[in-house]
Structure 1
Amino acid sequence: MTTKPQLNDDLNLLPGLAALGLFVVLAAVFLQTEFGPPQGFPADASIVASIGYAMFNLDFGAVPGESFLVAFMVMAVTLDVAIDAAVYLAQREDEGSFLQSAASSARGAVTGEGVRTDGGADDTEGER
């Protein structure tokens, strides 16, 4: 026999009220903010080239911009760390380090032992 769902009465309403208050404050700020008139780019300006020049802090672009070299380097280092962490986390624990597993597979190629696809079981005598 199933029972009818009941309303949970012991809720803490403080987080919900805090979120509602934050929404009201942000809505008031955004509604009272005045933005300047939109500005366009010159008709003969290459926007893509200007973005590239601004990224590397070069003054060759037709559209002036700020220097984004520091932001570019921070993004590059962050993405490099993320890729290194993904490779590190993707390794199996029983294999050890990448260099050890690469060395053992190279030793297997030299001694004539191939890489086993059955998880390393030794019950495959005579199959080569």
Structure 2
Amino acid sequence: MSKCGTHGSLPGASVQGKSNKFAYIWVGNSETQCPGQCAWPLHQPIYGPQSPPLVAPNNDVGLDCMVINLASLLASTTTNPFGNGFFQGPKDAPLEVASACPGVYGKRAYPSYAGDLLVDPATGASCNANGAN
């Protein structure tokens, strides 16, 4: 309940005398677990400037923000799966790739403003990617 999600590693089974590790990711339900922190920009933030939240692309704040958090954790797990990969700053408090620019989703982003995003004219939902259909 104290994090939007986390990643780490654990020892795995030994294969031919070599010990292995595996990486994992855990992501919570952003709408019910700390929505003011984990579901921004699709939920009102609990602190800072209070700009209106964006409309969720799939009309499901919890699921859409879980995807945002999962994508961030996938980037961090890919670049720093075992805590000894790519990061900035001290090793005991690493700033990972997804933590370097949190809340920046488009041009001209600043705290409480996710940036200039695409807007679906039919639903008013915002997104920073344009997929098929």
TM-score by length of 1: 0.21
TM-score by length of 2: 0.20
Structure number, greater radius of gyration: 1
Higher strand share: 2
Higher helix share: 1
